Amino acid sequence: AQSVTQLGSHVSVSEGALVLLRCNYSSSVPPYLFWYVQYPNQGLQLLLKYTSAATLVKGINGFEAEFKKSETSFHLTKPSAHMSDAAEYFCAVSSSGTYKYIFGTGTRLKVLA
């Protein structure tokens, strides 16, 4: 069975500071990994995805994530937080053969002025 763990349900950073949102996965087969952002009362927007090509994945809005198989991690980072980054972030896993997404419990990012 697949699962995703997001450490830290709430993360606060100062504007301009590094953003680090943690995601660890469990999968018995090669996973596909995704990060989504959700703004209040809105849908899910794809930030980036890992599909077994490059382990360092660059996404939209300056976000990137690195797939580390040895650590079963796919942490999301951004060098400099912006006020507009305040939102809920979800990590998700799927794999070939069972394409449904399993989501983590989400991390709410707060950016302090």
CB neighbour list of residue 70: distance below 8 Å, 6 or more residues apart: none
| Neighbouring-strand partners of residue 102 | 93
Q: Rule CB under 8 A: is residue 96 a binding residue for another protein?
A: yes
* Residues 49 and 34: beta-carbon distance below 8 Å: yes
Interface mask toward another protein for 11-50; x: CB under 8 A: ---------------------x-x-x----xxxxxx--x-
| Contacting residue, 19, 37, 102, 111, with another protein by CB under 8 A | 102
Q: Rule CB under 8 A: is residue 62 a binding residue for another protein?
A: no
Look-up: residue for tokens 């399993």?
102
Binding residue count for another protein, defined by CB under 8 A = 24
Smallest separation, CB 111 to another protein (Å):
20
- Which residue, 21 or 106, is less far from another protein as judged by CB? 106
Rounded to whole angstroms, the maximal C-alpha distance in the chain is: 45
42, 19, 38, 51: which is closest to 103 by C-alpha? 38
Q: Rule CB under 8 A: is residue 3 a binding residue for another protein?
A: no
Q: State how far the Cα of 80 lies from the Cα of 7, in Å rounded to an integer.
A: 20
Interface with another protein (CB under 8 A): 32, 34, 36, 41-46, 49, 51-52, 90, 94, 96, 98-106
